[in-house]
């Protein structure tokens, strides 16, 4: 059986194709703003080519993410928390919760028996765009995301920025640059602010288990974020190798049950 999951995020679109519940292909590309629908079709063709199959070979397609309605060929759409939950249990059957943190939204999902969900906590308005703020600041600072990911924990402690709102964090960061603070120190400060907001979501209503919490989404690929969040929260996250594909993977798994 061949199924596919499409996760259309604010910044990037991810596609995972499963053949008998094994990954046959995965592709990602920037979502493209107003041209999101066309971008989805382009990356869909690339993923099919990678898998060596044609559209008729796909049994079911499930879409998720901010732009899930732009996937014209999807048989079903699901909210991000549901896709994240299925991905977590698929990858780690022993998992009890999952954190899905991308460019825009962050979800913390407590898993129940089987494929059920006990509770979902989402970021509040002032916590939107945590992943996006790092991407924007990387561009402004002339650093790559890999360079920011490699930042040592000490960088950012001397000159903190606002950790209550991403917009104010950006303004504070630009202020630090204007007074000559090293750009890596500024990047570290922004990373710390993002981690504080992520930690507050984790502690909003639920406290994820220390050793059975899965971390997926783009921010899970940022080592500076994951290490600082682990230190702050005490959680030893289970992070899959292709964490950014978590939502798409979960959608593809859901498609196998249709």
Summarize pLDDT for 67-116 with one digit per residue, the tens: 999 999 999 999 999 999 999 999 999 999 999 998 778 889 999 998 99
Q: How confident is the model at residue 155 (pLDDT cuts 50, 70, 90)?
A: low
Q: Are residues 258 and 202 in the same domain?
A: no
Q: Are residues 104 and 229 in the same domain?
A: yes
d(CA 144, CA 139) in angstroms, rounded, equals: 7
Q: Are residues 106 and 164 in the same domain?
A: yes
Q: Are residues 25 and 112 in the same domain?
A: no
Q: Are residues 233 and 134 in the same domain?
A: yes
Q: Are residues 74 and 112 in the same domain?
A: no
Element (H, E) at 26: strand 22-30
Q: Are residues 158 and 69 in the same domain?
A: no
d(CA 220, CA 238) in angstroms, rounded, equals: 10
Q: Are residues 37 and 73 in the same domain?
A: yes
pTM of the entire predicted model: 0.88
Rg (CA), the chain: 18
Element (H, E) at 117: strand 117-122
**Residue 85 sits in which domain range?**
1-92+244-258
Q: How confident is the model at residue 20 (pLDDT cuts 50, 70, 90)?
A: very high
Q: Are residues 101 and 203 in the same domain?
A: yes
Q: Hey, what's the torsion of the CAs at 129, 131, 134, 135, to 10 degrees? A: -100
Query: What residues contact residue 197 under an 8 Å CB cut-off, 6+ apart?
Result: 123, 127, 130, 163, 164, 166
CB-based contact 102:9 (threshold 8 Å): yes
Q: Are residues 195 and 253 in the same domain?
A: no
Q: Are residues 233 and 105 in the same domain?
A: yes
Q: Are residues 138 and 103 in the same domain?
A: yes
CATH code assigned at 76: 3.30.420.40
Nearest to 257 by CA among 98, 114, 52, 108: 114
**pLDDT score, position 15:** 98
Provide mean pLDDT across the span 207-225.
90
Q: How confident is the model at residue 28 (pLDDT cuts 50, 70, 90)?
A: very high
Q: Is the pLDDT of residue 4 over 90?
A: yes
Provide the domain count of the chain: 2
Q: Is the pLDDT of residue 126 over 60?
A: no
């Amino acid at each position: 059986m061949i199924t596919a999951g499409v996760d259309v995020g604010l910044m990037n679109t991810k596609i995972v194709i499963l053949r008998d519940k094994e990954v046959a292909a995965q592709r990602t590309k920037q979502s493209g703003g107003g041209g999101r629908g066309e971008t989805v079709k382009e990356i869909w063709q690339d993923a099919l080519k990678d898998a060596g199959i044609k559209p008729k070979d796909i049994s079911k397609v499930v879409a998720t993410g901010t732009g899930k309605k732009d996937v014209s060929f999807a048989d079903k759409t699901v909210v991000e928390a549901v896709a994240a939950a299925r991905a977590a249990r698929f990858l780690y059957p022993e998992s009890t919760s999952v954190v899905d943190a991308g460019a825009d939204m962050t979800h913390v999902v407590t898993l129940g028996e089987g494929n059920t969900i006990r509770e979902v906590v989402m970021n509040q308005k002032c916590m939107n765009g945590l992943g996006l703020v790092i991407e924007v600041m990387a561009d402004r600072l002339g650093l790559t995301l890999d360079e920011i990911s490699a930042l040592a924990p000490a960088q950012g402690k001397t000159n903190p920025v606002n950790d209550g709102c991403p917009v104010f964090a950006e303004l504070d960061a630009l202020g630090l640059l204007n007074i000559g603070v090293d750009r890596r120190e500024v990047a570290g400060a922004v990373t710390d602010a993002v981690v504080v907001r992520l930690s507050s979501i984790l502690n909003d209503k639920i406290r994820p288990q220390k050793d059975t919490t899965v971390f997926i989404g783009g921010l899970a690929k940022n080592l500076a974020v994951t290490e600082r969040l682990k230190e702050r929260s005490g959680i030893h996250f289970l992070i899959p190798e292709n964490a950014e594909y978590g939502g798409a993977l979960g959608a593809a798994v859901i498609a196998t049950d249709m």
